[in-house]
Amino acid sequence: MIAITGAAGFIGSALAHYLNEQFYNDLVLVDDFSRADKGRNLAGLKFTALVPRDEFSRWLDANHRLVQFVFHLGARTDTAEFNKDVFDRLNLNYSKMVWARCVQYGLPLVYASSAATYGMGEYGYRDDHAIVPLLKPLNPYGESKNEFDKWALSQKETPYFWAGFKFFNVYGPNEYHKGRMASVVFHAFRQIRDTGKMKLFRSHREDIRDGEQKRDFVYVRDVVRVLFYYMHHRKDSGIYNLGTGNARSFLDLARNVFRAMGKEEVIEFIDTPADIRDKYQYFTEADISKLRKAGYADAFFSLEEGIFDYVTRFLMPDKCYGE
């Protein structure tokens, strides 16, 4: 059995569908299944059991002998949520529980960290364990992820193999339920479809032109391939960046969405809201040299390829992964 927490969410459901494509059907899907809006993400999946999030610890106690691998991808990901207690419960303490069970029962573990841990990038975007204690995330979500990374690195007892992946700006099918936390690609598609144009934040730095703010946008189909690789790799434990290693501008992104939709390009610039302007990131780019050194050699989708695939295969026909 392969256990996946957050299995009804964006990356978790994409991973479950990818595992089915690779003929892994003995899956244990863990999530808060009370959210009907995520139901489409589970459509068509082959699996063995659905386990409510709050029952997973007891389920593992009773069934750990049947489990071969744990993907802990479930988390509260809302960067606009500022109730620290929510993140302590769902991100930090729940992750500690999963880690402890994996140690106790000898289970390999992959968990989701986040590029949000890097804050304004004062220390760069290297997945160097030495800088983890120095990082200054910009919100409670990023803080919760960094706190768990720090905690994991301080543990004397660890799963025999573990890896934490700092996801950069992931986009792709099965994110429709995420609301304002969905990717810029998703929002660009909706905005262009509904209004015929795309609004981007104006640059408030003299050295960067409007629309030239850059992010490392990574397609979810690449993300799940990396996770699948590490399910078999099971060595070189540690924290890894998971991005393309190639930052691209929001202008590039918008133009590619227009192109994939077959629409004429109409882009407007608006001021970045004053309340987030001083914390707005103008550049993120994953250093993926550690990932490459560990043996992951596959090429990543380019932004052009990823957006075209996402828009034409999923967004325009209104389909989820597996539909």
pLDDT at 48: 98
Q: Which helix (H) or strand (E) holds 217?
A: strand 217-219
- What are the structural domains of the chain? 2-172+217-246+282-301 (3.40.50.720)
Contact status, residue 142 vs residue 116, Cβ threshold 8 Å: yes
> In whole angstroms, what is the distance from residue 312 CA to residue 185 CA?
12
Of 293, 266, 96, the residue nearest 197 (C-alpha) = 266
Q: Report d(CA 269, CA 275) in Å as an integer.
A: 17
List, by residue number, the catalytic residues: 141, 178
Position 78 scores a pLDDT of: 67
Residue 167 bridge partners (DSSP): 114, 242
Low-confidence ranges of the chain (pLDDT < 70): 77-82
